[in-house]
Structure 1
């Protein structure tokens, strides 16, 4: 059992909000965490993919009202979107009785229907919390290479060997394409979406070029945009937007795209072992995505994540705007002896960030010229967490 950092935040939100939606891809550990929370207080757990549990909700208002003194955990809640309207009434009725917090914990795979329904029906009554795969702060330093190679889905990371981990990820991809996507989103041919997902893995950290993807898939640009929106909504792909401000420079306007879990990147490319990854051209881009996911997960609530790039070549891999407005400029290097290019220096001269970091896979922290700090991933993440305290 790996202790998840998000557990404390989930418990805190249940103490301050009547409903909390815990969103994340399938198999990321939402149910395990919810059951652990439920074991600490009176609770009822319903899996809405179970016929028996759905039968209990034949009259949902009556059943849920009979458990108003408990935390009701509704797993795969997108299966019954009509519940949201009922939950609103129960929450409002509970408030009149003094039951103001910790009523409902909703688990979902971040389907567009879930977000739309809950947003319409539970506005002002629900808190959203995103749960990602295991990140670089949740394992010891010596386990980071395995975490990067296998990805952060618990069953993949904890598998007995790389072969079993790869098999789990292959089954995960197949199940998503053949079962979950048709249930959660528009009807898309599984093979077409697999090709697109694989293209994104090959294109990891690259600028989005919808026309190029459209030509390769034999579809139009709007269809590519719909495919990308679906994978972003399902929290499987990150669209990192460019930073925009009036700095007197011609800035790149296309977003960068990342398959969010490094293990899924490697599986889509047929890479099973760490040696396979290190010998493949995607290694640097895969490490970059891995670092970005950990840093964003460690960021204080309200942090804005972008990249910075000008037509003249000034570039920052990850630019974090903290809630107070301070900028952190982050360069990501796979090398144990990282060298900072002129593009990063020029970008820092444009923006004058509060901190200038180079994140690399080593263990030591040391300074470079012009106020640049070279830090291990875990050290940089802890420093980011401490800014939010």
Structure 2
């Protein structure tokens, strides 16, 4: 499979024409290196994964930047010494697009950016393929196939079975990345927490419950959840703060950026097992919400997704802030539209009034419907949501 165009490419080129440094973060294997090498073929590509390069940059940062005055520096957080030197150089040269930096760890990378490159770099995030990016190349007819395979580029580029890819991914992630972010003595417990999180996809995050099941403290769970967030394994969908005089829940909901990884952690070995799995609805929600977030990030926007639920159980699966307006989105994995699909958005529109935009219902079927109370769209057209 040849290079699959990434939606973010246009925006990263635009920002490179305006900022001296552009920083691209995202999970390991999301396609960052491929994207920057394709977007900036004229720049030397330097990988700090290479021990010789890493040694050169750390021992002689001035000489390193003199050798590479205009370059793509991959996994830049591995050589934190160069950030302050990059700051000095770009301030002197005052030219856009001097360096494109990539990194896989928010904790490590943004600590250095805030110290040295604040105001000098644009920051973008690249997640694995969106449905829009990959759909034309593999064209699965059933959403369950995407839930099972996930969206990591190497699965498609090398035609790797999901089990083989994700087992290797988890091993590398835990043995290398987690140790870099934080010194965790019991990696087995960390992996158990990761599996427990997969079992709670689409559910409220209860730190105490997770801690009890894993045999670790509430504080430790909170710390490890932050590691999973920083390395783009999970994201927490926060409850929206506008309550319309109703009591709201305050806990976030837990999702995985990639459903293929979640499915692997759940022990799902085939597409058929997805169809009958107890948490297929949660996986489908994760699939849709992560694609909405990808659309925002690929346009260079911040994540503006929330959910809404009151103490009586009335809920909106995804609520997108769009200026003064709030866009309600209900997500249903079923293939047949029923009257129950509209209860949540109808209730929310009644209490939100003019603040609520015309809602969307995204479901597991194939037909689009323009209803008076909601726009019903099939899963494969999730990119049609406008905000």
Q: Is 1:12 aligned with 2:18?
A: no
SS at match of 1:264: helix
CA distance in 2, matches of 1:178, 1:233: 16
TM-score by length of 1: 0.91
- 2:315 is aligned to 315
Residue 250 of structure 1, aligned match among 229, 247, 251 = 247
Q: Which structure 2 residues correspond to residues 83-232 of structure 1 after superposition, within 5 A?
A: 83-95=82-94, 99=95, 101-140=96-135, 142-143=139-140, 145-160=144-159, 164-232=161-229
CA distance in 2, matches of 1:171, 1:223: 25
Superposed displacement of residue 209, structure 1: 0.7
**Runs of 4+ with deviation above 6 angstroms:** none
Superposed displacement of residue 378, structure 1: 4.4
- 1:338 is aligned to 337
Superposed displacement of residue 338, structure 1: 2.7
CA distance in 2, matches of 1:380, 1:267: 24
Q: How many residues align?
A: 373
Could you list the per-position Cα deviations for residues 118-156 of structure 1 after superposition, in whole angstroms to 9, with x for gaps in the alignment?
A: 112111001110100111111236325433221111112
Q: Which structure 2 residues correspond to residues 51-66 of structure 1 after superposition, within 5 A?
A: 51-57=51-57, 58-66=59-67
SS at match of 2:360: strand
- 1:356 is aligned to 359
SS at match of 1:56: helix
Could you list the per-position Cα deviations for residues 95-120 of structure 1 after superposition, in whole angstroms to 9, with x for gaps in the alignment?
A: 1xxx2x10111110124121111112
Mark the CA change 1:112 to 1:90 in structure 2 (over 3 Å): closer, same or farther: same
SS at match of 2:146: helix
SS at match of 1:239: strand
Could you list the per-position Cα deviations for residues 231-276 of structure 1 after superposition, in whole angstroms to 9, with x for gaps in the alignment?
A: 0011111011000124100001000011221000110011122111
CA distance in 2, matches of 1:38, 1:11: 8
Mark the CA change 1:190 to 1:157 in structure 2 (over 3 Å): closer, same or farther: farther
CA distance in 1, matches of 2:65, 2:199: 47
- 1:291 is aligned to 288
Uncovered stretches (5+) of structure 1, i.e. residues with no partner:
none
SS at match of 1:105: strand
Uncovered stretches (5+) of structure 2, i.e. residues with no partner:
none
Superposed displacement of residue 188, structure 1: 4.4
8 Å Cα contact 2:369/2:375 also seen in 1: yes
RMSD between aligned alpha carbons?
A: 1.8
